[in-house]
Structure formats: structure tokens, C-alpha cells
Amino acid sequence: MGKLVVFLQKLVRFFYKAISLRLTARRHGHDLTAVRDCTAHIKAGDMLAFVVLRNEAVRIPYFLDYYRKLGVDHFLFVDNASDDGFMAVIGAAQDCSVWHTGASYKAAKFGVHWLNFLLGKYGTGHWCLTLDPDEFLVYPYSHSRSLHELARYLGQEGKQSFFTLMLDMYSEGDVDDALYHAGQDPLEVCPWFDGTGYYQDKRPHYGEWWIRGGVRRREFFADQPHLSPALNKTVLVKWRWYYAYIASTHIVWPNRLNNPHFADTLAPTGCLLHFKYLALLREKAEEELERKQHYAGSFEYNRYLSGLNKKTRLWTEASVRFQGWQQCVDLGLMNIGRWF
């Protein structure tokens, strides 16, 4: 009888959490106005991508091209008051839907509530990617196998999420000289990353593996490494109505979705190539320091701008030039698991 009571208590807490998260998402969903709704084109089994952005139009052409080639069938964008011609870049694409909002990014938990609303409404039953426009997923066999193939394997193994390590990419010279133009592969500008220097610890509350390190810890947070940004992300999830992101894509609920591996064996994991350190960063940092819409009063962007002003060079003799997914496996940064 005692075990039954404990079970029922856990069940009540679970549903209370689920409903609470969903109601919060629905409330913030009222911030969003559809300006291009092509969701009628979404079919059962489609791979969906969800993105919150502001003034990222220059990144979008290659972003769309990259993920279309990997198998994304529909993109759902939240445009947080961009004024850089983003809608003109989307054009008449039938695989893109866009919602606009001028509401506070910070009040929406840095976009998480908007994403949870759209994921719950359109993503339920689909494999969903949740990304920033400067993030590019690499996974085992990604040069020859689609996201649909990866999702099919994960589903056969009973896994509903896919864990990634974010790799910050950078150039050999000053960040301000890493010039980027629309449609360009960002690897042509920033092909380097830190191959070592990553640290992980298990967090008790949501069961996530918290990873820090790489160039951000090395160059921008060397004096306070415990404050360096998290690099663990669960960006691919087979969504259910009660799922929710808690802190960007660093933490997802229920807790089991944060586990990189199966209970009894290693699962495939991936890397998320992150192209923050382009010349675009200075303007972005200055804007965000003024807006103060990011975590801790845009503390992170203050660090970046300070580094840019000091002409901090990110490249060292130990830097590694990106060569593909197999290299990431060889360096121990991601796993193939049992997928062959």
C-alpha cells in the first residue's frame, strides 16, 4: 500500500509539473502573431526545426540550405522584432512559417516559453530540432545519412532524444576580421575549435550532464570558469505534448530526456558547431548590452565585448581544424553508439 501511495504522489507531481509548464507556454504564446503560416503543409513524419531569432538574416540562407539537405521538412521561426529584412530572405518558401513578437525575450525566459508553445502545438508526434541560427548539427554519418535515418534508429532503440556537445568555432585571426557574407559556409571563415579542455558534472535537479570548457572558458571566463556558459544541448527530441525546455536547450523535461545514453549501453551523440565568433559578434554584443534581454543583464556579452576590445586572439597552436564527424568521434567528443 505504501508503494502505491508513493507512486500516486509521484504521478500527481508529474502531471502538475506538465500542466504548469504547458499553461505557462500557452500564456506566452499570446505574444506571437503569425505573419507567415504554412503549417498546413506539415505532414505526419516530417522533421521540424524551431528557431527564435533577432536580426540574423545574414545567417539564414546557409542555415536553410544546410538543414534542408539534412532532411528538415519545415522550419518554424519566432522573429523577435527583427529590422534587418528577415522576411524578405524567407520569401515565398512553403517550408517556412514565421511568428512575430515585440514582447520581451527575457520575460519569455529567453525565448523558451515561445518555443515550448510552438513545440506543443505543432511538434507533438514529430522529431523536432530546436536551434539557434548559428548552430549546425553534426552527427555520426551526417555526410551520408539524413536526420530521418538518425531519428528512425533512435526510435528503434527506444530513445526519444539526442544529446550534443556544442563546439565553439573560430578563425585564426581577430574576431573582428572574421567577415561573413550571406549564403557562405561559416566553416570557410571559422574552421577551428578546441579539441580538449571540456569538463562535465552531473546535476541533481533535472539529471543533466552540465558541460563547460572550450574556447569560451579558456579565453572569456578564465578568471571565473564556473560561470562559463554550458555546452551541453539536447536539440533533437521526439516531442510529446507535455515535454518542455527549461533552460534553452541545455535542459529538457522530463529528466530522462537529458540522459545522453541508454541505461545499458552508449547511444549515438553529436556535436553542434557554433559560429558565434564571426565579425557579426561586436554589433550583436553592443546591441544586447543595451537591450539587457539576455541572462544576468547580458553578462556574457559584456565578457565578449571586453575580449573584442582587447583584440583577444582565440586561435592557439593547440587549436584543431574541423575535418568532419569522424574526427569528433576520434577526439572523444561524440559517440557512434551501436549505429553502424
CA 143 to chain centre: 20
Q: CA-to-CA distance for 163 and 207, rounded, in angstroms? A: 13
What would the pLDDT profile of 215-225 be if each residue is shown by its tens digit?
Answer: 999 998 888 88
What would the pLDDT profile of 174-212 be if each residue is shown by its tens digit?
Answer: 999 999 999 999 999 999 999 999 999 988 788 888 999
Question: Does a cis peptide bond (omega within 30 degrees of 0) precede residue 229?
Answer: no
* Per-residue confidence band for 227, with pLDDT thresholds at 50, 70 and 90: confident
The H helix count followed by the E strand count for the chain is: 9, 15
Quick check: 1 pLDDT over 70? no
CA 16 to chain centre: 27
How much of the chain, in percent, has pLDDT values that exceed 70? 98
Quick check: 315 pLDDT over 90? yes
Alpha-helical runs (H) found in the chain: 2-29, 60-70, 86-90, 112-118, 147-156, 214-215, 280-291, 295-309, 325-330
Q: What pLDDT was estimated at residue 205?
A: 84
Query: Among residues 239, 229, 40, 228, which one has the least CA distance to residue 123?
Result: 239
Q: CA-to-CA distance for 316 and 331, rounded, in angstroms? A: 18
Instruction: Return mean pLDDT, the chain.
Output: 94
Quick check: 296 pLDDT over 80? no
Residue 305's identity, in one-letter code, is L
The three state secondary structure string of 221-241 is CCCCHHHCCCCEEEEEEECCC
* Per-residue confidence band for 293, with pLDDT thresholds at 50, 70 and 90: low
Low-confidence winner among 19-33, 128-142, 179-193, 307-321 (lowest mean pLDDT): 307-321
End-to-end CA, the chain: 46
What would the pLDDT profile of 50-77 be if each residue is shown by its tens digit?
Answer: 999 999 999 999 999 999 999 999 999 9
- Segment 19-43 shows an average pLDDT of 97
- Segment 311-334 shows an average pLDDT of 96
Q: CA-to-CA distance for 54 and 56, rounded, in angstroms? A: 6
For residue 201, how many other CB atoms are within 10 A of its CB?
A: 9
* pTM of the shown model: 0.95
- Residue 258, classed as helix, strand or coil, is helix
